[in-house]
Amino acid sequence: MVSFSGSTAVAGIGATEFSKQSGRSELQLAAEAVSAALDDAGLTPSDVDGLVTYTQDANDEIAVAREVGIGDLSFFSRVHYGGGAACGTVLHAAMAVATGVAETVVCYRAFNERSGRRFGQPDARIGGEPSSQGLEMSWHVPYGLMTPAAWVAMFAQRYMHAYGVTSEDFGRVAVAMRRHASTNPAAWFYQRPITLEEHQASRWIVEPLHLLDCCQESDGAVALVVTSAERARDLRRSPVLITGAAQGAGAGQMMMTSYYRDDMTGLPEMGVVGGRLWEQSGLGPSDVQTAILYDHFTPFVLTQLEELGFCGRGEARDFVAGGGIEIDGHLPVNPHGGQLGEAYIHGMNGIAEAVRQIRGTSVNQVSGVHNVLVTAGTGVPTSGLILSAE
């Protein structure tokens, strides 16, 4: 059986600036990020023969190829389920490279999520079509349960009830992310840390979530170059090995409203991903020096720590207490500031940070990083990665 684990690598990363109004089209953002990633890798557009993005991305692979000057493509693929696609794009790319379907695949995500279509705004149309997803939404949207914050808040309330978790526990995640972002010049919230009191004082969005439990909305793009580890060794940057890559959906899964499973306090789909990652890599939580955990909303950062085995069920509140996930804690999470602090690029910016942590080039570098775990969108069918140094 062909395996991509250890034989494929991320060879380049590229990004645009992160803003609230890019002032240019999403296609331009995509092209800029892809070109930057190729420059970083020391490759040219003609080296690329595969492209992968999200089903939600508005830029077709062929359109990006035209803008960047990429020639023939032998592989193109899309990953579904919103931000759950992030690490899945790398999985698809790695599979293509490992099987010889393609040699150099670029994964990208580009959007004007703040100045264009904002995911946080209610859209009455999402329940309107009798597709499987439209019907799924139709059990929720008529009641006004129709924003990502609300969908997540429903899980968060039950989680709080089950384990005695408080809003302040969620707030500690936000404080950590904003602390990290405050020393990252690329972050939107550069030099703007927050206190727990500010978190508590921020207005309700959907109880139990305050404004500062919700990630920002951003314009921008990120791209990643995936190729074989062997080839990556000859390129400009030290290879960042793909040790593990997995997608996961759980039994009884819905897009973001999996309220009908026995338990509402976990993320079974992330459990699927975690199990696969540890199995592929032969690693465990103690082998990871820093983690990039998807943080569109604070509560699921706690759930992920439990689901991935960094702590036991219901113990994440203690794990994050006292700065446990801050840069100097026992598991630094999102040293770039995450989506709460750096930018919301649908998880793709987190993968880029993982690459920098392995390379040792992050502005908030964690010492002695050998393995980084990365996750994608939570509450949805999702994906994850373990990236490693040689």
Helices 348-359, 86-98: crossing angle, 10 deg rounding: 60
Rule CB under 8 A: say whether 134 interacts with another protein: yes
**Smallest distance, Å, CB 124 to another protein?**
5
Residue 210, judged by CB atoms within 10 A of its CB (0-12, 13-18, 19+), counts as buried
Q: Which of 54, 81, 108, 344 is catalytic?
A: 344
| Rounded Cα distance, 107 and 9, in Å | 13
| Rounded Cα distance, 81 and 214, in Å | 19
Q: Which of 54, 108, 159, 294 is catalytic?
A: 294
- Segment near another protein (CB under 8 A); pick from 105-113, 114-122, 301-309, 375-383: 114-122
Q: Active-site residue 108, yes or no?
A: no
Rule CB under 8 A: say whether 97 interacts with another protein: no
**Smallest distance, Å, CB 274 to another protein?**
24
All residues at 6 or more sequence positions from 331 whose CB lies less than 8 Å from its CB, including other chains: 288, 290, 291, 305, 310, 319, 324, 325
Residue 388, judged by CB atoms within 10 A of its CB (0-12, 13-18, 19+), counts as buried
Q: Tell me 333's DSSP state.
A: B
- Segment near another protein (CB under 8 A); pick from 96-104, 185-193, 201-209, 371-379: 201-209
Site for another protein in 349-388 (CB under 8 A): none
**Smallest distance, Å, CB 298 to another protein?**
15
Residue type, 17: E
**Smallest distance, Å, CB 260 to another protein?**
5
Rule CB under 8 A: say whether 206 interacts with another protein: yes
Residue carrying the six token digits 């993005």? 53
73 beta partners = none
| Rounded Cα distance, 192 and 179, in Å | 8
Site for another protein in 249-278 (CB under 8 A): 257, 259-260, 264
**Smallest distance, Å, CB 26 to another protein?**
16
According to CB under 8 A, which one of 161, 233, 236, 313 is a site residue for another protein?
Answer: 161
**Smallest distance, Å, CB 212 to another protein?**
13
Rule CB under 8 A: say whether 119 interacts with another protein: no
- Segment near another protein (CB under 8 A); pick from 16-24, 92-100, 136-144, 332-340: 136-144
Q: Tell me 296's DSSP state.
A: S
Rule CB under 8 A: say whether 203 interacts with another protein: yes
Q: Active-site residue 344, yes or no?
A: yes
Residue 60, judged by CB atoms within 10 A of its CB (0-12, 13-18, 19+), counts as middle
| Rounded Cα distance, 120 and 211, in Å | 12
Q: Tell me 19's DSSP state.
A: B
Q: Which is nearer to another protein, 210 or 317 (CB)?
A: 210
According to CB under 8 A, which one of 66, 125, 192, 313 is a site residue for another protein?
Answer: 125
108 beta partners = 223
Site for another protein in 139-158 (CB under 8 A): 139-147, 150, 153-155, 157-158
Q: Give the side-chain half-sphere CA count within 13 A for 66.
A: 7
**Smallest distance, Å, CB 198 to another protein?**
18
Rule CB under 8 A: say whether 138 interacts with another protein: yes
Q: Which is nearer to another protein, 149 or 225 (CB)?
A: 149
According to CB under 8 A, which one of 208, 244, 299, 381 is a site residue for another protein?
Answer: 208
- Bridge-based pairing of strands 240-248 and 8-15 is antiparallel
Rule CB under 8 A: say whether 117 interacts with another protein: no
| Rounded Cα distance, 59 and 68, in Å | 12
**Which residues contribute to the site for another protein (CB under 8 A)?**
120-122, 124-125, 127-131, 134-147, 150, 153-155, 157-158, 161, 203-208, 257, 259-260, 264
Q: Which residues are catalytic?
A: 294, 344
